[in-house]
Structure 1
Amino acid sequence: MLRIVIDGAGDIPDEWKAEYQVEVIPINIQFGDKSYLQGTDLSNDDFYRLADTTGVIPKTSQPSPQQFVDLYERIARAGDTILSLHVTSKLSGTFDSAVMAAKELKEKLAIIPIDSGSGSAAMGFMCQEVRQLERAGATIQAILERLDVIRKNVNIVLTLDSLEYARRSGRVKYLPAALAALIKIKPIIILKEGLLDMREIVRTRQRSLDRVLDIIHQRVGDKLVNVAVVHSQSLDTAKEMMNKVSLTLHINESFISELSIGVAANLGPGTIGIVAYAVA
């Protein structure tokens, strides 16, 4: 049987986890001297409550190789293949941990670690397509080729409501800390070659939201797309964005998702983004 694993930096609807039989390995969250497992010891609401009450912006770390070994051995049996799909290796060591675990278990299990080159809802769509292809009788090689197509064509564009989390995390390239301290700006962040890159800045929240949709539309045009709106503690804004997306893009499949803690910890509350790629 084909087993699908993603890490906690991926965003996937809860119902998809069951429908497409997806296992999630959580990200480690460090608040001061206390450690938590994303989604297990710490919910999204708990995360923001702790951040607000303590004034501490937490640190995240990838699952250890041993955590991967434990998960792989728990979910798989001899003869199974595990497709282990992970957040871009340019922003996290999660993929490397999966590779080390796969090497340790190579005599017992067939494990294929995959660098998604992205994260968030892109990984959710990848899981969906993997399972749909497998159920349609596709070979592992065909599935890997499809994942490579998605990886090369997915677009992720985000805007942040505050620069504080991103400045402290250091995960966004070319973030002008001095400028951020002087004026209230709303950066537009794009995923470029596996890295989060600040493409431009605007001066109001509404302009930034409009610009996110403009960039996505420029990139996908009128092609049929899978699209997700992702957010951090901004569900109402995400719903408004999805309404605009529905009027602008030619949609095949869509969903709204709250950003995982592993991502939100680096970008902060109020983040809104669109993940989209052409399905053909």
Structure 2
Amino acid sequence: MTQKRIAWITDSTAFLKDELKNHEHLYVVPLGITIDDKVYEDGVDLTTDTLYKHIRNDKEVPKTSQPPVGKFVELFETLKKKYDGAIAVHISSKLSGTLATCKTGAEMAGFDVDVIDSRAMSYAITTLIEKGLAMEKEGLDQKTIASKLHEESLKNENYILLGNLDQFYKGGRMSGTQFLLGNLLSIKPIIRIYNGAFELFEKVRSEKRATKRLFELFDEAYQKHYISQIQIMHGNVMEKAKEYANEFRKKYPNLDIVIGELSSTIAVHAGEGTIALIWHKESKK
């Protein structure tokens, strides 16, 4: 029996390495970013450099928006001529309406799409896509891959050290009380995405202590689980990301380390200077 052809869909909050950017069967639907009443497509006509300039200089905070349903319908109408179905891996449904819009677009286009809630964003999405593509190569069918990816989405762990409390608050991701306390007490909050939503994980009194705590959290996970790779995502602070990478190399010489930049959509909320650590936990054999 001929294996059915699967298209792969994601959104612009995912971090895509070159091999995925150039993958012929992977399609990216960009989220929108509104600056001065003009809507840009994330990663298409807006770079992170340009975005950070606006964040620094403009009084009005840029706003993000999910892709219009028409974008998905248009894509799926084209894809159903070439593929038997698709697997879409998107930003957490608790952080964006992108996943719901994708489902609606698939129904409208009459295209068989299995939609996976990554329960996260950025490199956690990348990991799921990479695992899915590997399963497809092994000959697994679309429904089996989708089912396994739902399970894999529960194995992600991430911690975020915000570069800009002000930005996170203005973006509507933090209450006024939390923001005020954080500013008054010079607290560096460690945020995580848990069960698909942002939560304040811990309040630490300085960046140095917060950084130390991030390494402790990874070490705790590393002792309990098999972790082959850590992703260090940053908001325009490459040198800081490299410092983190060097520390990880010293302690975990066999660990694969990936450094990447947060997408513009994420940067709107997290702000410049943010560091996010992401890893995928497997059972120890």
**Which TM-score applies when normalising by structure 1?**
0.91
Worse overlay, 196-205 or 73-82 = 73-82
- Maintained 8 Å contact 1:102/1:112: no
**Aligned partner (choices 127, 130, 133) of residue 131 of structure 1:** 133
**Residue 177 of structure 1: CA displacement?**
2.0
**Aligned partner (choices 11, 22, 26) of residue 15 of structure 2:** 11
**Residue 81 of structure 1: CA displacement?**
1.4
**Residue 73 of structure 1: CA displacement?**
2.7
How far apart are the structure 2 equivalents of 1:89 and 1:157? 19
Paired amino acid for 2:268: A
Structure 1 counterpart of 2:100? 96
**Residue 39 of structure 1: CA displacement?**
1.1
**Residue 156 of structure 1: CA displacement?**
0.9
**Residue 20 of structure 1: CA displacement?**
7.2
How far apart are the structure 1 equivalents of 2:255 and 2:146? 21
Structure 2 counterpart of 1:259? 262
Paired amino acid for 1:94: T
Worse overlay, 86-95 or 223-232 = 223-232
How far apart are the structure 2 equivalents of 1:173 and 1:117? 22
Paired amino acid for 1:55: K
The Cα offsets for residues 8-52 of structure 1, whole Å up to 9 and x where unpaired, read as: 111222333224742211110011311111111111111111222
Paired amino acid for 2:9: V
Structure 2 counterpart of 1:150? 152
Structure 2 counterpart of 1:121? 123
SS of structure 2 residue aligned to 1:240: helix
- Maintained 8 Å contact 1:233/1:269: yes
- Maintained 8 Å contact 2:227/2:279: no
- Maintained 8 Å contact 2:87/2:146: no
Structure 1 counterpart of 2:228? 225
**Aligned partner (choices 66, 72, 76) of residue 76 of structure 2:** 72
Structure 2 counterpart of 1:200? 202
**Residue 187 of structure 1: CA displacement?**
0.8
Paired amino acid for 1:141: K
- Maintained 8 Å contact 2:182/2:188: no
- Maintained 8 Å contact 1:227/1:276: yes
How far apart are the structure 1 equivalents of 2:156 and 2:251? 18
Instruction: Describe the shift of the 1:219–1:147 C-alpha distance in structure 2 as closer, same or farther (beyond 3 A).
Output: same
How far apart are the structure 2 equivalents of 1:240 and 1:121? 19
**Residue 113 of structure 1: CA displacement?**
1.7
**Aligned partner (choices 42, 50, 55) of residue 54 of structure 2:** 50
Paired amino acid for 1:235: M
Paired amino acid for 2:248: V
Structure 1 counterpart of 2:237? 234
Unaligned residue ranges in structure 2 (runs of 5+): none
CA RMSD for the aligned pairs?
Answer: 2.1
Paired amino acid for 1:160: L
Worse overlay, 169-178 or 2-11 = 169-178
The Cα offsets for residues 205-249 of structure 1, whole Å up to 9 and x where unpaired, read as: 222222122212212425233321111001111112122233445
**Which TM-score applies when normalising by structure 2?**
0.90
How far apart are the structure 2 equivalents of 1:206 and 1:268? 19
How far apart are the structure 2 equivalents of 1:176 and 1:212? 20
How far apart are the structure 1 equivalents of 2:27 and 2:177? 34
How far apart are the structure 2 equivalents of 1:151 and 1:128? 12
SS of structure 1 residue aligned to 2:258: strand
SS of structure 2 residue aligned to 1:36: strand
- Maintained 8 Å contact 2:7/2:83: no
How far apart are the structure 2 equivalents of 1:174 and 1:21? 44
Structure 2 counterpart of 1:63? 67
- Does residue 209 of the first structure (1) align with residue 206 of the second (2)? no
How far apart are the structure 1 equivalents of 2:245 and 2:75? 35
How far apart are the structure 2 equivalents of 1:98 and 1:247? 43
